[in-house]
Chain A
Amino acid sequence: MTNEDFTDWVNEEGINPVVLVEVSHTAGTFYLSNKFYATETGEAPENVSYDVSLNQSFIIQRSLDAKTIGSIRVYNDGDFDDWQNLAFINQPIKVFIGDAQWPRDDFRLRFSGIIDDLIENSPNEFEIKITAINELPNINLSGNNLLLAGTINTYSIYRGSAYGSKYYKIADADQFNQVDNMTVYVSGLAKAIAWDGAYNNAFYIPSEPSPSATPYLSCKGIINSLKAFITELCSRASMPINSANFALFPDYTEIGARFVNTLSFEYILNEVLRGIGAFYVINGIGEIEFYQLKDPETAAPDIYLIAEENIIIRQSNTDKILRNLVFTHSIDHSDISQQIFTYTASNIIPVGFQFDDKAVNSFVSGTSMINENTRQRLLRSKSRKTFNAKIKRMVPNINLGMVVNITSNTTGWREGRNGIVVGITEHLTNNMAELTIWR
């Protein structure tokens, strides 16, 4: 199933999705769902009947200024009594959605996070609190927005913050890597991700050019780190690790990998990098450079120079500039305080994202288009406020930080207005979403 087919299905009226939840603990994985679903021989996972134990309330809330939180309520008729003896906290949890008639491969990863807490609501129900390691909002510059040395591509640029201190397993069963509070400061100082406590598995940037024009993920470091990263990359995107999807370059002193299946590349990075606290940019020669941030107090950050002139962002419309968006990096990692500078938002012009006609017609009347406190319409106010837009379907292609263009059959909104998505609340089993828009 293509991503387009999936999007079409999500946009249909009244779909009744099957929600599959894979809950990890230190000794294995539990498989839960809201409806009967079983996998077949040869699928992954193989011959598994998902426990129909999810109570209907299943909400994921994501926000730019708060931790992502999710709540999954599980009905326990005794089958899960042994959960109290298992270790779940800080273990991964994944949520997939699809249709009961689909093969397992067609289900899409809807959310990937970490188990934050497990509490008992009643003798027959407990609640799994989930959170993401970080939420790196991205500016999705779709279309012909990024021109690099004559090559037109579609890539995403990230910035943002990570919240919480979580252990995230990306390698073998007995190896955990800790992601500390990772914050990209406006001034450029970055607090690190600590790998193994000794920074042995840090990623940093090689100096050799890309061997080809296809998206090239390069990093210098211990090969195990890259393999672990690729493994997790493919696992999250449900892609097999084979030569059809990526190729390692053994002839470089640095370790590199080229993603052959370029159509999936951005999708993969969107999911994985968000999960392990990193971001990437495109340098002037077509390389995708992968940034992992280090604690400036204990090690120099491995952030490579990106010359300003190597990044060209083509303006695709004349919508107003968003001033809150900042892209930061350093130019020399020997002196952090002086070498990190900031791009202002004037250098970045986002593309408006237009809802399709179906989504527009789905606006729930009474959605607040005004400041709830003052009841003033948000016209050209100096102060930026948020408002909520309810949508009667899930929104698989909208992410935090995305610029969206909202149109509505309401005075002042017929021509559409831009705003940034700063919060998304999804009711997965009810097939509804609520966006908090800031403008």
Chain B
Amino acid sequence: MALSDNLNILFPITVNENSIAVIPTPVTTLPAKNVFNSRRDKFLRIIGTNATIKFNTNSLEETTAICLGFLNLTDSSTIRIRLYNDFNQTGLIVHDSNALPGVDPAYFQWELENLFPQVYFYSFEKVNFKSVVIDIVAPGNSQIDIGRIMTGFIFEPKKNYSLNSKWQWQEEGNDRISGNKYRIFSLDLKYLENIENDRYEYEKMKAAKQGDLLVCLQPSATGLDFLKNTAICKRVNDISRVRYRENTNKHRDLYKEVI
């Protein structure tokens, strides 16, 4: 669910990783805390068709989106997100997505399984919360894999990236199946206001190159266009900023998809 047409970058907040609880119990070799690890080779696996994941923040936090990355859901799956204003899920539900399709049908229409990792990106009006409950119903699955869960602040510039920003598809090796394939999003943000710049710089510094984030170039797109332009990435370039008018800032950033 997109809120605007402009670039969305989800910078994840720090949550209480020890608070995570998963039903049913994950396999021991692929435990729950893996969903907070930015490494692609660390993920959570649950045997079965349904899963409920709960976790808390450390304090009252605000958020405008949730992302679940590196999923293996089938096209009959649904995901429900509930956010609570307390740590025990007995208080007020500040946001309830109700059950939504877990995967865009275009993912299977275009047989993208071998090209793009499956990413679920759900954004909403800002809320303050302390805990999250994620319910996944996947009748077509025998096991549910979740590589990453992140929630946090969406950076959304008032003026979108300039026209020469681009989307690149990279391939290492010429094997059609197993060569490393990933996307690079090259963003030229030329018109950031001072307050936007401050927040963007701060979030980039906090994430660092090691931290992952979600980049969505076309939040209002649907189907294949949305899928192509949405990926969990890490920043490649160093941070720099050009101030060229009193209240205008330019950033040029390169985000490489996590593979």
Please state if A101 and B177 are interface contacts (CB–CB under 8 Å): yes
Please state if A35 and B178 are interface contacts (CB–CB under 8 Å): yes
Please state if B175 and A48 are interface contacts (CB–CB under 8 Å): no
In this complex, how many residues of chain A approach chain B with their Cβ under 8 Å: the count is 24
Interface contact tally, CB-CB below 8 A: 59
B29 at the interface (CB under 8 A from A): yes
Chain A interface mostly helix, strand, loop or mixed? loop
B255 at the interface (CB under 8 A from A): no
Known: A16-B172, A41-B143, A101-B114. A49 touches B43 (CB 8 A): yes
Chain B 171-214 against A: per-residue CB contact (8 Å), 1 yes, 0 no? 01111011110000000000000000000000000000000000
Chain B 32-55 against A: per-residue CB contact (8 Å), 1 yes, 0 no? 000000011111010100000000
Please state if A47 and B27 are interface contacts (CB–CB under 8 Å): yes
Point out the residue from B39, B172, B175, B177 that lies within 8 Å of A52, measured CB to CB. Answer: B39
B224 at the interface (CB under 8 A from A): no
Chain A 94-110 against B: per-residue CB contact (8 Å), 1 yes, 0 no? 00000111000000000
A15 at the interface (CB under 8 A from B): yes
Beta-carbon contacts under 8 Å, B127-178 to A: 142-143, 145, 172-175, 177-178
Minimum CB–CB distance from A99 to chain B (whole Å) comes to 5
Q: Which of B45, B145, B174, B178 lies at the interface centre, i.e. has the most chain A CB atoms within 10 A of its CB?
A: B178
B259 at the interface (CB under 8 A from A): yes
B30 at the interface (CB under 8 A from A): yes
Minimum CB–CB distance from B88 to chain A (whole Å) comes to 31
Please state if A52 and B40 are interface contacts (CB–CB under 8 Å): yes
Chain B 14-31 against A: per-residue CB contact (8 Å), 1 yes, 0 no? 000000000000010110
By a CB distance below 8 angstroms, the chain A residues around B42 are 49
Known: A14-B173, A36-B259, A38-B41. A101 touches B178 (CB 8 A): yes
Known: A16-B172, A47-B29, A49-B30. A100 touches B178 (CB 8 A): yes
A290 at the interface (CB under 8 A from B): no
A206 at the interface (CB under 8 A from B): no
Query: Could you give 11 example pairs across A and B, Cβ below 8 Å?
Result: A12-B175, A14-B175, A15-B173, A15-B178, A35-B178, A38-B145, A41-B47, A48-B29, A49-B30, A52-B39, A100-B177
